């Protein structure tokens, strides 16, 4: 399994998340109150979200109103161009070809699996990805909701050189049938999870801040989870480990 010398993360490990929002200022208020994030300006009009001094996510303005308002997970790769070629060969799609971000921050691509679930690739430069993954308010997990878990295992296993599992067979991300949580007509997608101390208290805060609850808390092998949307419609999950 290839190790990325810049980030220290293996090929295929989640390394970054961002939200594409119509109103970044409104997103700053929502997530600042919900998770205690502070912010710094990044390139263009995007912002870095920080918690405890570390970068944990980015909020990015949508450049096209027809694009969805979403959270996107990025997987580490040592060669984004090569990963894109593997995606095309395996039946996936390239939404946005690899491109440099900022002044040497890294190279990003936006791609989709054969069923259409969109995710990002990140080839790091000076920006390795998120920091702490243990504290409440930081990335905790990502789950792929799919209609065919066997096909998903084959596609992502091939894409990331069998890197679906880390040391000790620890999964890098989960795979579940869409119908486990969402209506059967929901398209396949990746769902970003953020750690929280108390699931119910967080849901109350989400609603107070103008978001809504999509799926009430349910128990999983990795913790208690609820699915919500923010005040602009971007879906994410909160996870009480």
- DSSP for 145-185, written as a single string: EES-HHHHHHHHHHHTTTTTB-GGG-BSSEEEEGGGTS-TT
Distance between CA 171 and CA 191 in Å, rounded? 15
Q: Determine the pLDDT at residue 133.
A: 72
Q: Determine the pLDDT at residue 170.
A: 63
Q: Identify the CATH class of 139-240.
A: alpha beta
Distance between CA 59 and CA 188 in Å, rounded? 23
Distance between CA 205 and CA 32 in Å, rounded? 12
**235 band by pLDDT with thresholds 50, 70 and 90:** very high
pTM: 0.93
Select the more confidently predicted residue: 162 or 206.
206
The answer as to CATH 3.10.180.10 being correct for domain 14-124 is yes
Q: What is the pLDDT of residues 92-121, one digit of tens each?
A: 999 999 999 988 999 999 999 999 999 999
Reading the block at residue 230, the tokens are 């923010």
Helix (H) or strand (E) holding 231: none
Domain ranges of the chain: 14-124, 139-240
Q: For 176-193, what is the mean pLDDT?
A: 93
- Chain center to CA of 197: 20
Q: Determine the pLDDT at residue 2.
A: 41
Please, are residues 116 and 88 in contact by the beta-carbon 8 Å criterion?
no
Please, are residues 20 and 72 in contact by the beta-carbon 8 Å criterion?
yes
Q: What is the mean pLDDT of the chain?
A: 90
User: What is the three-class DSSP state of 88?
Assistant: helix
**Look-up of token digits 């989870």:** 225
φ, ψ of residue 224 to 5 degrees: the values are -95, 130
Q: What is the pLDDT of residues 40-91, one digit of tens each?
A: 988 777 899 999 889 999 999 998 888 899 999 999 999 999 999 999 999 9
Which residues touch 116 (CB under 8 Å, ≥6 apart)? 93, 187, 188
Q: For 15-20, what is the mean pLDDT?
A: 97
Beta strands (DSSP E) in 42-159 are 47-51, 54-61, 70-76, 93-101, 106-112, 118-124, 139-146
Domains 14-124 and 139-240 share a fold: yes
Q: Determine the pLDDT at residue 221.
A: 87
Q: What is the pLDDT of residues 148-178, one digit of tens each?
A: 999 998 999 888 864 566 555 566 888 999 9
Helix (H) or strand (E) holding 223: strand 223-229
Select the more confidently predicted residue: 131 or 182.
182
**Look-up of token digits 């979200």:** 49
**28 band by pLDDT with thresholds 50, 70 and 90:** very high
Percentage of residues of the chain with pLDDT beyond 90: 74
């Amino acid at each position: 399994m290839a190790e990325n010398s810049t980030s220290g993360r293996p090929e295929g490990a989640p390394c970054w998340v961002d939200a594409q929002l119509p109103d970044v200022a409104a997103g700053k208020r929502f997530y600042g109150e919900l998770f205690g994030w502070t912010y710094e300006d990044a390139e263009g009009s995007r912002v870095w979200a920080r918690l405890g001094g570390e970068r944990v996510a980015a909020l990015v303005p949508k450049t096209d109103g027809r694009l969805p308002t979403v959270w996107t997970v990025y997987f580490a790769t040592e060669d984004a161009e090569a990963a894109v070629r593997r995606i095309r060969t395996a039946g996936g799609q390239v939404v946005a070809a690899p491109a440099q971000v900022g002044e040497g921050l890294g190279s990003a691509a936006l791609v989709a699996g054969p069923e259409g679930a969109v995710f990002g690739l990140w080839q790091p430069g000076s920006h390795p990805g998120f920091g702490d993954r243990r504290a409440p308010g930081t990335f905790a997990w990502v789950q792929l909701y799919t209609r065919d878990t066997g096909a998903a295992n084959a596609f992502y296993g091939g894409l990331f050189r069998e890197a679906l599992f880390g040391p000790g067979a620890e999964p890098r991300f989960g795979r579940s049938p869409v119908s486990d949580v969402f209506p059967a007509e929901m398209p396949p997608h990746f769902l970003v999870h953020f750690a929280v101390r108390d699931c119910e208290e967080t849901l109350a805060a989400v609603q107070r801040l103008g978001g809504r609850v999509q799926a009430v808390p349910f128990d999983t092998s990795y913790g208690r989870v609820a699915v919500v949307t923010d005040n602009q419609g971007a879906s994410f999950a909160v996870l009480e480990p």
